[in-house]
Structure 1
Amino acid sequence: MDPFFKLRGQTSEFVDSRSFFAVLDDPARTTIQDSQYSPDELVSTASPRLWRIRDKTFRNFSFAKTEVKEFEFQNCIFEDCLFMGTIFSNCRFTDCHFINCNVHRFELRSVYVNPRAFSKCIPSKNYANIGVHLFQELLRNSRMQAQPDYADVAQFMFRRWQRYLNWDELKEFPLHRRPTKTLAVVGSWMFELFLGSGVRLRNLACTTIGLMIALSLIHWELRESLGLTSNGAKVQTFIDAFYFTSVTLTTLGYGDITPSTEFGRIVLGFESLLGFVLLATLASTIFRKFSS
């Protein structure tokens, strides 16, 4: 069996919740490891309040096929743990981290959790199907809990793992369909890198600034070929080139600096379309950030 789907070495077993709570209540026991919780349910005895578990490390531990209800985990680390088929109901995770954990087919029901806590959860792209399910579940939970910032993080990671999965499945496609599938995967990677998958403002802002600087340099170096003029004179400074780039990308078109060659008109026509798409995406992302 794949080691990712089982605990390592010899393990002990919690056969009831009483013994598990006894370990949780022991302040000297900061690490709970090499164990598995066997019952189908683990329910807080402090209901309707959440049972708080603080500053604990669960290592090589299994909650597989267990429904965990009404718990609050604070500053906890889950490392090399199994959550296959686990259901978390009405739980909170604050400043927690999941490292190399198998979350195959786990569920979240009314859970407060930052998807960034799972950034190191899946150890390899070989488990892309688990990664897709993980962040799809986090996305669904964040939307249900009206947590738009967390939903954006989950959506970004979901698309990344979906790309990993598509790339992994590429070898199973017939040869005549692989070029199209490859282009789709590459396009997805570029969409993530340059536009932040439409949800990460940092990528989008860096792309916009970088593109403006790069095009300004190109306009400056190729000003003769592009036929850039201002009041009948050639563009004289880099500031002129930057100003012209800004006007072109924002499609303002003041007309004080215009291309006078066919080559320049063709190139700058495509730049205007690129600027329209880029700035529309930027405006949409900013609107979503502040309106949510």
Structure 2
Amino acid sequence: MPRTDTPRLLAGLYALGAVLLLGQALWHYLVGDYARILLPALLAPLLLTAALMRLGQQETARLSAYLVLICGYLLVATSLPGEGRLALLWLGLPPVLTLLLLPLGPATLLNLTLAPIWLLLADGGLSLPLSLAYLALVIAAGLAPWGVRHQQALLLATDPRDEECAALKAAPLLERLESEVERADLLGQRLAVVVLHLPQLEMADEPYGGPARLALLGSFCGTVAEHSRDHDLLGRLDDADFWLVLPDTSESGALLVRQRIEEAAAGAMLDGSGGLEVRGGTCSHSPGSPFMALKRRLDATTRRLADG
């Protein structure tokens, strides 16, 4: 999940850039270079506007990134001509800034599209060594965000936990449940599963939006954790269907756990929607019966609860 402090951090960086531009304009004024005062003086308010927009909705956040990018492009375009060897330093700023502000695909496409413009501004021609250096910089700078995205995708694919709540995903849950069935048969222990359905979750996005959905899931998982043991396993089979695996527990014990969870959830107060409705059912493993027999009964109970 994205860090919640990222918008504030970026807004602060944009505001810092505006302050630096104002300082640059003041410096040009103090040294008498009046011809170069106008651009930083005009871009500073744009960066402040971008900082405020970054704190808004997702649409304004995207627009703020393009606004900052335009400001950076204008600064580079006015600084590249006549810089001599320093032009190489300015030439590296547009591709890096683009990759920092835009997604990898659009950033790479924009960098390649604007390459002739930056190369012409840098040395007045499209020399092969400078073109190769620019292309190498675009590729090298793009490797960092690509590596981060690849690592995040790998972690997401291998993480057994659900993205929205403190529960296992469906596949890891079934694997753990099968292991618990084998363990119960081997040790001669009991095994029960509580099936839980959240009807409110199916409509949580409509009146309240994503935050209400996450709050509902958090409240539910917290309630289950309070009324279950540390080694019990909560997994999410479907959007609103959960299984709570209770090792070394009889069906009557599972029924007691289910009742406690339902009562505690009904007493939990959610903003704008009152208590938390939980529909529950229980299934127990018959010693010596195959895992698929238990799974079929669990699937049937899940469908029955979902149908109301």
TM-score by length of structure 1 reads 0.25
The structure with the largest alpha-carbon Rg is 2
Instruction: Work out which structure has the larger RCO, using CA pairs closer than 8 Å and 6 or more positions apart in sequence.
Output: 2
Larger helix share, 1 or 2? 2
Larger strand share, 1 or 2? 1
